[in-house]
A and B are shown apart, each in its own frame.
Chain A
Amino acid sequence: MRSNLRILAAGTLLAVGLSAGLSGCASSFPADPDGTLDRVSGGTLRVGIAPNGDWTDMTDDGEASGIEVSLIEDFAETIDADIAWVEGSEEALFTRLEDGGLDLVIGGFTDRTPWLDRAAITKPFTEVSTSDGVEKHVMAASRGENAFLLELERFLLATEGAP
């Protein structure tokens, strides 16, 4: 009796998942709940930039430069996207990322960033030896946008160790 109930519950869950998937836009797997990759491909990639040494910099007249900036410019080219740079403090940028106002935040972050819970942190794209040990550098994408995250990580892994 009870095991029948369990099977019923599992079956229902499976059926709901499948039907939602088939009826929904199952164009890519994994898919983005908010469709980030579809929107930015051929559109505009909104990137938050927190100035941080050689990694990210911003001039007064809004010219972005740095190692991560070049990486993102190359990435944007692969998906045919224009980039809208938004400069700000880390807190302001991560809050906007969570609200859906940004797609990506860069700022020379390492995998020990305290923003781990507020964003989808990419796999490290480069490692740098410093006096504090090895720093593994990462970027921060919008949470749960897995198609976009996967696309970005594929690009970063392909250009690993570039700088």
Chain B
Amino acid sequence: MSVAFGETELPQKQTEILRKAIRLEWLTIAFLAVTVTLVFFVLGNSQAMKAAWIEDLLSFIPPLVFLIAVRIARRKPNPKHPYGYHRSVGVGHLVAAVALVTMGTFLIIDSASGLLAAEHPSIGSVELFGQVFWLGWLMMGVMALIALPPVFIGRAKMTLARELHDKVLYADADMNKADWMTAVGSIVGVGGIGLGLWWADAAAALFIAGSILWDGVKNTRAAVEDLGDTRAMTFDDAKPHPVVHRVDEYLRSLHWVEDAGSRARDQGHVLHIESFVVPRSRRKVAVADLVAAREACVALDWRVEDIVIVPVKELPRVVRESHPAR
């Protein structure tokens, strides 16, 4: 069965990647459910452990947003939503990012006030399998155990995010990849308590809170840019999306076209492109030529579906300014 985002049928390869991504996100959720439970039982009085636990809780949001967004994005465009539901991805991205900013800020204030008040964290004993030992050992053990798996899951998701052009998946993968830092941070914090350095715990918590806030700020910026119709960028916002350039080049190569330029915005997985063409003949443009050009553009890449080709006398300013001839 093939999958469609709105009117856009996904190619075989992308359909498989989407399935893989959905499986990976469910795996992530299952893994998080286990870690959140484990960490909860060994939280104790450590601020660093609390920060790490909250970060784990927040990590539920991106996979959930992804799973919901890809589901909603499949709906067909209708009179009320003529552009389809692709923007669900962007909306989800923004919601997740704002949650990170809020919790990051809260944790920074919480940890800093503990540090300023010179609160000495107390960690006592734990009894496990008939042995009584320091709870800190168990905390560090649990954190060491859960440090690495997210890194591998994150790496796998990153490859899929590129193919699927999904920024929520990208943000999620990026956060997973950095997840080991949180685990190491809390191990350092608890280890510091063990060495009698009461401030190490709050300092490690500040470090973790800082990384949550940074993730939030970075993703808020990216989500706002996309919702604000910044030109279409690659999945990691590194450079303008190459498909737009290919559309322009194709249109310019047509015999009836003198010059062409496009503006494109990112709808989520797919792009919405408006291409302006200056015909060689100032008198008439054949409808058949326009239709053929449109179909050829759609065939260029699966992300191009919603494309409008407009004949004009001269290219609009914004398009002219990104013209390679300039």
- A and B together in one complex: yes
User: B180-212 vs A: 1/0 string, CB under 8 Å?
Assistant: 010011001001111111101001100100010
Q: Which of B120-136 contact A (CB under 8 A)?
A: 120-125, 127, 132, 134, 136
A78 to chain B, nearest CB (A): 14
Complex interface residues of chain B between 221 and 266 (CB less than 8 A to chain A): none
Q: Does A21 count as interface, using CB distance less than 8 angstroms? A: yes
Chain B interface bracket (under 10, 10 to 19, 20 to 34, 35 or more): 20 to 34
CA distance A13 to B48 in the complex (A): 13
A17 touches B197 (CB 8 A): yes
Q: Which of A106-163 contact B (CB under 8 A)?
A: 120-123, 141, 143-147, 149-150, 153-154, 157
Closest chain-B Cβ to A26's Cβ sits at a distance in Å of 6
Confirm or deny: A84 has a beta carbon within 8 angstroms of a beta carbon on chain B. no
Complex CA gap A31/B194 in Å reads 6
Asked whether any CB of chain B lies closer than 8 Å to the CB of A92, the reply is no
Pick from A14, A24, A141, A146: contact of B184, CB under 8 Å = A14
Residue of B127, B134, B185 with most chain A CB atoms under a 10 A cut-off:
B134
- B-chain residues with CB within 8 Å of residue A25 when the two chains form the complex: 196
Residues of A within 8 A of B123 (CB): 30, 146, 149
Partner of A154, one of B132, B184, B185, B197: B132
Q: Say yes or no: A144 contacts B120, CB within 8 Å.
A: yes
Kindly state the separation between the CA atoms of A9 and B45 in the bound complex, as whole angstroms.
24
How long is the Cα–Cα vector from A7 to B198 in the complex, in angstroms? 23
B119 within 8 A of A: yes
Q: How far is the CA of A157 from the CA of B191 in the complex (A)?
A: 24
Pair A30/B194 contact, Cβ less than 8 Å: yes
Which residues of A are interface residues toward B (Cβ below 8 A)? 3, 6-7, 9-10, 13-14, 17, 20-21, 24-26, 29-33, 120-123, 141, 143-147, 149-150, 153-154, 157
Residue of A10, A17, A21 near B181 (CB, 8 A) is A10
Q: Are B124 and A149 in contact (CB under 8 A)?
A: yes
Q: Closest Cβ of chain B: how far from A43's Cβ, in Å?
A: 18
Q: Is B217's beta carbon under 8 Å from chain A?
A: no
Interface residues of B, Cβ cutoff 8 Å to A: 45, 119-125, 127, 132, 134, 136, 178, 181, 184-185, 188, 191-198, 200, 203-204, 207, 211
Report how far A120 CA is from B136 CA in the complex, Å: 15
Contacts of B45 in A (CB 8 A): 120
CB neighbours (8 Å) of A17 from chain B are 188, 191-192, 195, 197, 200
Query: What are 15 A-B contacts defined by CB distance under 8 Å?
Result: A9-B207, A10-B184, A17-B192, A17-B200, A20-B195, A21-B191, A24-B195, A24-B196, A25-B196, A33-B196, A123-B124, A146-B123, A146-B194, A147-B196, A150-B134
CB distance from B211 to the nearest CB of A (A): 7
CB neighbours (8 Å) of B121 from chain A are 143-144
Given known contacts A13-B207, A154-B132, A32 and B196 CB-to-CB distance under 8 angstroms: yes
Complex: A154 Cα to B191 Cα, angstroms: 20
Instruction: Indicate if the CB atoms of B197 and A21 lie closer than 8 Å.
Output: yes
A32 to chain B, nearest CB (A): 6
Tell me the smallest distance from the CB of A156 to a CB of chain B, in Å.
9
Cβ–Cβ < 8 Å partners of B132 in chain A: 153-154, 157
List chain A residues, Cβ under 8 A from B122.
120-121, 141, 143-146, 149
Q: Which B residue sits closest to A7, measured CB to CB?
A: B181
Contacts of A31 in B (CB 8 A): 194-196
The 5 residue pairs across chains A and B that have the minimum distance between CB atoms: A144-B120, A31-B196, A120-B122, A21-B195, A153-B125
User: Distance in Å from the Cβ of A116 to the closest Cβ of chain B?
Assistant: 10
Q: Given contacts A26-B195, A30-B196, is CB(A146)–CB(B188) below 8 Å?
A: no
Q: Is the CB of A157 within 8 A of B125?
A: yes
